[in-house]
Chains A and B, each alone.
Chain A
Amino acid sequence: GEDVEQSLFLSVREGDSSVINCTYTDSSSTYLYWYKQEPGAGLQLLTYIFSNMDMKQDQRLTVLLNKKDKHLSLRIADTQTGDSAIYFCADEGATNKLIFGTGTLLAVQP
């Protein structure tokens, strides 16, 4: 079945850029998503990219998609302590259920 994998942990210093990586296996992906989960909170949609695009920029967020390698990344520019959270990559395939990765815990050091 479809699978989505992410590294578990990333630590950066405030003001640096963060890059969170994700790989997926689904060949019929329509959209790929990035969600943010803060402690005790739900899943907040940050951004998404259509599978025919290779880049999307939204303020401090840049999503890169390499469809050939099935690799997705989220770059957060000028990372702030408020960006500390778990970031989930998710794949939406032919049916519109989401397949989530394990989540990457981003720790931002002041």
Chain B
Amino acid sequence: EPEVTQTPSHQVTQMGQEVILRCVPISNHLYFYWYRQILGQKVEFLVSFYNNEISEKSEIFDDQFSVERPDGSNFTLKIRSTKLEDSAMYFCASSPANTNTEAFFGQGTRLTVV
């Protein structure tokens, strides 16, 4: 079965440092998403991306966050200057169409900011 791959599985970083979370979506998918889940809280939408631009972003996705599809296969989430409250599990998802009925999620990257 095709899968969305995220690396690393766990990242520990110091407050104020930049981190890049990487995702390899399924190859024929066109729509890409990032979600996050702070420990004990709901899974929250961050951003959706299509045709090399952001389609929608949540109020969480402020100027510290950016997304990129640098080489046609990877889809990255960059956090410019991490804060303690950025500690969470970050999930990438991809879909061939503009609906979640065929979307797949990656296994997540656990980001710990110390």
Chain A residues within CB distance 8 Å of chain B:
4, 30-31, 33, 35, 40-45, 48, 88, 90, 92, 95-103
Contacts and interface: CB of A to CB of B under 8 A. Distances in A.
A96 B99 contact: yes
B103 interface: yes
Contacts of B42: 4, 100-103
Contacts of B35: 98, 100
Interface of B: 4, 31, 33, 35, 41-45, 48, 55-56, 58, 91, 93, 98-101, 103-108
B100 A33 contact: yes
B56 A95 contact: yes
B101 A98 contact: no
Contacts of B103: 45
B56 A97 contact: yes
B56 A41 contact: no
Given A44-B105, A92-B99, A97 B48 contact: yes
A45 B45 contact: no
A35 B23 CA distance: 20
Given A31-B99, A42-B91, A43-B91, A98 B45 contact: yes
